[in-house]
Structure 1
């Protein structure tokens, strides 16, 4: 394919397989490699990209996981019949750490505000027990000096499960604990960290109270304020980190 079809040789740099996969993904999404088209042989791509066979195999494997290509035994690798149908991935995707965290928090705002509102309307006693246990578990983790990001996620997941909406809870579960940003807990120390922990606990407790009281409007407003404050705080800390 060479330079005539848009593939560029890659120099030695980190994550070569991701760069190869990105180039192939772009060719597929732009239609330069059409559905059903066969990818060049492994040997040809080794020469064209200027990388090892291992790099090519990792790149093709990543495209296969995303549903963009299919490997056919003894024939080769072919572009999927409908490469537009890709699974959702939460990853950096070329974003800086700051942009990744900000966009992730914006995603949570769009999802979890309504989640809190629905939880306030639909929760039962079993849900309230689960949310209370999750809140206490997170509080204990913070008191023990841990980052508490997994326990924080557990609390938000318990609220999502109280919505009785399998898609909301399932999507949050799929995203996983790494949607909880860590700059605040990793950069704060001493009294600053203790203050942050107290505010976090109080915000969580207020959301829990609104859900307990079946106050959907307050639950939504409190969750919005909680996540928006987290977004602003982490954006500020990331800017400070870039400046140092």
Structure 2
């Protein structure tokens, strides 16, 4: 069967339905798939992604639940028109994942604030220069908005705090932060991205990131600790406060 060029095969074995759904969403966001376009058949998508047809079926179900695609019996699945989509909804499975993300953010609040305090004390000029560069990348991605630069924005934020952690010169902090990020990447990425789109593009969030970097630049350990704790506590609180709009 000839493969479409719309999608790439998924190499990672976990979270396959979420990965397929995210790939379809990326194609829609980029304009490769437009409202009214018919998705490739289940068999074709299975071949393109190199996954079982049941995985594709579940991914399409997730997209249908969120109103991203419409399914027509005997015809196929189509990209829904934005104005005709139902209100944004989150699946029950996503709520379970959200609780896991909150737990990870709660853990990271303590770890990251300690790492930031050490980074403020120990960082080098070279490390500070890279931290400032990645903060600027985060700001630029943020200005594009969640529809245009969601993954770019999330990846910049992850890199920013990885660099801050590395500047602490404490490999144990690095190990814990890497463990947290690995759990997000391997099990919770789709839910993490969805919640980031809803919560993380607000102006106050950008001010919080800037406050963390400014404290590290000024070599003010306690200010960095407090600013970082505030950023991650607020991220956890805003995530916990979200509601399901039916």
Quickly name the TM-score band, shorter chain normalised: 0.5 to 0.7
Name the CA distance, whole Å, in 2 between partners of 1:159 and 1:187.
Answer: 25
State the Cα distance separating 1:112 from its structure 2 match: 0.4
Quote the residue 1:108 is aligned against.
108
Quote the residue 2:171 is aligned against.
166
State the Cα distance separating 1:102 from its structure 2 match: 1.3
Contact 2:111 2:176 in 1 (8 A): no
Name the CA distance, whole Å, in 1 between partners of 2:175 and 2:126.
Answer: 18
Name the CA distance, whole Å, in 2 between partners of 1:159 and 1:109.
Answer: 14
Contact 2:115 2:173 in 1 (8 A): yes
Higher relative contact order (CA 8 A, sep 6+): 2
Q: Per-residue CA shift, 1:155-211, capped at 9, x if unaligned?
A: 1101001101122224323433737843443336xxxx76x1x22221111111111
The normalised TM-score by structure 2 is: 0.52
Quote the residue 2:9 is aligned against.
none
Name the CA distance, whole Å, in 1 between partners of 2:133 and 2:175.
Answer: 20
Q: Per-residue CA shift, 1:219-238, capped at 9, x if unaligned?
A: 0001111111111101111x
Name the CA distance, whole Å, in 1 between partners of 2:136 and 2:176.
Answer: 24
Distance verdict in 2 for CA 1:214–1:187, change over 3 Å: closer
Q: 1:186 aligns with which of 197, 200, 220?
A: 197
Name the CA distance, whole Å, in 2 between partners of 1:211 and 1:158.
Answer: 12
Quote the residue 2:225 is aligned against.
220
The structure with the largest alpha-carbon Rg is 1
Name the CA distance, whole Å, in 1 between partners of 2:134 and 2:175.
Answer: 18
Quote the residue 1:203 is aligned against.
208
Contact 2:113 2:228 in 1 (8 A): yes
Quote the residue 2:134 is aligned against.
134
Distance verdict in 2 for CA 1:159–1:152, change over 3 Å: same
User: Moved runs in structure 1, 4+ residues, more than 4 A?
Assistant: none
Aligned length: 142
Q: 1:150 aligns with which of 136, 152, 155?
A: 155
Unaligned runs of 5+ in 1: 1-14, 16-94
Distance verdict in 2 for CA 1:186–1:204, change over 3 Å: closer
Q: Alignment partner of 1:96: what SS?
A: helix
The normalised TM-score by structure 1 is: 0.53
